[in-house]
Amino acid sequence: MFFSLINVTVYSKKNIFTLLLILVMGMTVQSQPARLLSKDVLKEKREKIYRNLVQQSIIGNLSKPLTDSTSEDWESAFSAMELIRYHSAWADQQIILAADRAFDLPASFQSSLLELLYANYPGTFTEPVQKLFQRTNNEKIALLCAIYLVNKNTSATEAAMIRNQALNRFPTGNEHSLFEPFLLNLDQNYKPLTSEMIASFLQKDYLPGQVLMISFQRKNRDYPGVVLVRDSSGHFMKDSTGNIFHVPQLARSISNLPGYVRNGNTPEGIFRMDGFDVSKSSFIGPTTNIQLTMPFEFSAKHFFQSDLITDSTWELEAYKNLLPLPCRDHVPFYESYYAGKAGRSEIIAHGSTVNPAWYTSTPYYPITPGLGCLSTKEIWNEQTGERNESDQQLLVDVLKAAGGAKGYAIVINLDDARQPVTIADILPFLNRAHQNQ
């Protein structure tokens, strides 16, 4: 999902929160014209949005004294800095002040700050985050601290110490433990998939009768993945040239947090596709999106589409049985299950009218990240507002031709290569799967 832009004139603490945190619900789907327009992509409006984000949301709010009464204004600044990847020497000094004072301010302030630190200042604020981790009794804040502290530069000994401290302070026995996926080490104990595991998702008889949207990603979500579509008969859809249909798809969030926390990357694992919709968000735009539901988001009966499962039953074994046999012991494939169990929800697959210029220096440009959804490239004309290019529309059209969005979406991390996934990475496994039929 993405955020809704309500008012581009003034970014106070209220409407920047609307911009970044409101969960956007869709409108009823109607027939969509081939020629789409969006006033939100016009050059003048994009420039105004950026100017207001910098001058009012960031500089204006960070200039206020940091107190309980102004903490929401500072949160708004954090969100804006994260959104446009903003840095300045003055703003960095204000973030140092915020980190030093964080323990004495509300949990919402701490959460917003920690998300910004993870996104914009990885590894820079270890000492104040460690202090907050030791002192807080708030499970969500402690989790965000632990995630920040356990990073690629953390030794195995240090990481184990942090996990042990978390386990002692926040047991995982309760029904919706936020720490459960962290303690399962979903992110750190990653191993590349074997050829057999990758090919097993591509078998014609895998989840027979279900339409599948399979998004192959890197563990490092800075690099876009590629999405394929399989129809209910087990055949992968082809494009107009007769080649396997595929388009790039980004599974990275703005924060780049792990997928099992709010606003983190798209979780690895299985989602139920739940039809099409059109968003009201001006940053998602008018292109049809694909609705997804996570485990625990609705009933188990809805997710598994089985009369044998009651509405009140959520069992890991039922989710496990959706995975191919060679993949059932690969713990990262259970991320979507544990993310849903911890309360994450409302992830979709969508296009974007966000200004790609904010992300020109990133490996995923010109695709733009959101709050954890799967996003595809869309190019809009800044002079006319017309949609010039849309991988999202191509994906939606192919999915409709395959039978509609009523099967499963699967997100798969292939490996940790520092390059985008391409169709050339997938074809050998697809050929192997078909040879084994």
Report pLDDT for 231: 97
Last residue of a domain, one of 135, 156, 183: 183
Preceding omega of 208 cis (within 30 degrees of 0): no
In this structure, the answer to whether residues 258 and 333 fall within a common structural domain is: yes
| pTM to 2 decimal places | 0.90
Give the domain CATH number at 371: 2.40.440.10
Whether 271 and 406 have beta carbons less than 8 Å apart is answered as: no
Q: How far apart are CA 378 and CA 385, in angstroms?
A: 12
171, 207: one domain: no
Element (H, E) at 210: none
Last residue of a domain, one of 140, 155, 183: 183
121 in any annotated domain: yes
Q: Do 260 and 394 belong to one domain? A: yes
- Could you write out the DSSP letters of every residue in 79-126? HHHHHHT---HHHHHHHHHHHHHGGGS-HHHHHHHHHHHHHHSTTT-H
Residue 174 pLDDT: 54
Domain carrying residue 70: 13-28+40-183
Predicted local confidence at residue 189, as pLDDT = 62
List of the chain residues with pLDDT < 50 = 1-33
Q: Is residue 281 part of a domain?
A: yes
293 and 404 share one domain: yes
Kind of pairing, strands 26-27 and 269-279?
Answer: antiparallel
**Do 271 and 346 fall within a single domain?**
yes
34: in domain = no
Q: Which of 195, 194, 198, 232 is nearest to 213 (CA)?
A: 232
Domain-embedded: residue 309: yes
What's the pLDDT score for residue 172? 63
Indicate if 169 and 229 belong to the same structural domain: no
Helix or strand (DSSP H, E) at 183: helix 180-183
Decide: 256 and 221 in contact? Cβ < 8 Å.
yes
1 within domain boundaries: no
Residue 216 token pair: 């192959």
Where helices occur in 305-361 by DSSP H, the ranges are 316-320, 335-341
Instruction: Please report where in the chains the tokens 């190019």 appear, as a residue.
Output: 379
Residue 138 sits in the same domain as residue 257: no
Residues 146 and 229 in one domain: no
Q: What is the pLDDT of residue 437?
A: 56
What pLDDT is attached to residue 2?
47
Task: Tell whether 259 and 401 lie within a shared domain.
Answer: yes
pLDDT attached to residue 44: 97
What's the pLDDT at 167?
A: 85
Q: Are both 309 and 378 inside the same structural domain?
A: yes
Amino acid 188: pLDDT: 61
State residue 424 phi and psi, 5-degree precision. Answer: -65, -25
The answer to whether residue 8 is domain-embedded is no
Domain end, chosen from 183, 210, 234, is at 183
Note whether residue 426 is domain-resident.
Answer: yes
- What's the number of domains the chain is made of? 2
Residues 102 and 202 in one domain: no
C-alpha to C-alpha distance for 19 and 23, rounded to whole angstroms: 10
Task: Answer yes or no: are the C-beta atoms of 59 and 30 closer than 8 Å.
Answer: no
pLDDT tens-digit series, residues 228-284: 999 999 999 999 999 999 999 999 999 999 999 999 999 999 999 999 999 988 889
Give a yes or no: residue 393 inside a domain. yes
- Asked if residue 106 and residue 52 are part of one domain, the reply reads yes
